[in-house]
Structure 1
Amino acid sequence: MFGDNVPVVEVSTVPVDGFLLDVRESDEWRAGHAPHAVHIPLGELAQRAAEVPRDRQVYVLCRVGGRSAQAVQALNDAGWRAANIAGGMQAWALSGRDMTSENGAPPQVV
């Protein structure tokens, strides 16, 4: 489905201070996300790529991993060091990692 340029990491291996890039849509982001993640929807990534650091590993997630795999492949093809978080935000939530929401409700993955 994707090329060889889509490394995958498990949620448990993502460092607490790692650069997290969330490529989900805004409604998904508002419902629940990692507290320190940067939100750039996949459709905006090409125009906003300068917001993603080139000097460190980038950990990318979406809901389950499809959109983030596309983002990782595009970033790596353009010279970034990015990895897809296996299972996306669903795995993040199931693993008990911190989450927050933007809508005042308890954080959830939608």
Structure 2
Amino acid sequence: MTVPEIEARDIPSGGFLLDVREQGEWVAGHAPEAVHIPMSEIQTRLDEVPAGRTVYVVCRVGGRSFQVAAWLNQLGREAVNVDGGMQSWEQQKLPMVSETGQSPFIA
């Protein structure tokens, strides 16, 4: 199955960014506007993912987000994988925040 991909810097302003990494990864550093639903919880929390708009799915490097985006697309949603994940986000010096009060980083 082909899944559309996008570079982190090309995500449109106001786009719905879904971060599917685990809690420890999220706490260390994430995009300020991202919504966090770990991959392990996506099936039970699907109602938190908007059905009527494109969902940009991100993880650490792109593997988990690819799987989640493929699954969402199979359900009839419009999902796009963020190529290179949060590592690419960090390399492109896009804004990040952490939940620790420390400088954000990609765990």
Q: Deviations over 1:83-108 (max 9, x none)?
A: 00000000011111110000111000
Q: TM-score, normalised by structure 1?
A: 0.95
**Distance across 2 between alignment mates of 1:31 and 1:25:** 10
Q: CA deviation at 1:16?
A: 2.1
**Distance across 1 between alignment mates of 2:91 and 2:51:** 29
In angstroms, what is the RMSD of aligned CA positions?
Answer: 0.6
Which contiguous aligned blocks of 4+ residues in structure 1 show a shift greater than 4 angstroms?
Answer: none
Match of 2:6 in 1: 9
Match of 2:41 in 1: 44
SS in 1 for 2:56: strand
Match of 1:77 in 2: 74
Give percent identity, aligned residues only. 52
Matched, 1:64 2:47: no
Match of 1:19 in 2: 16
Aligned length: 107
Structure 2 residue runs without a partner (length 5+): none
Structure 1 residue runs without a partner (length 5+): none
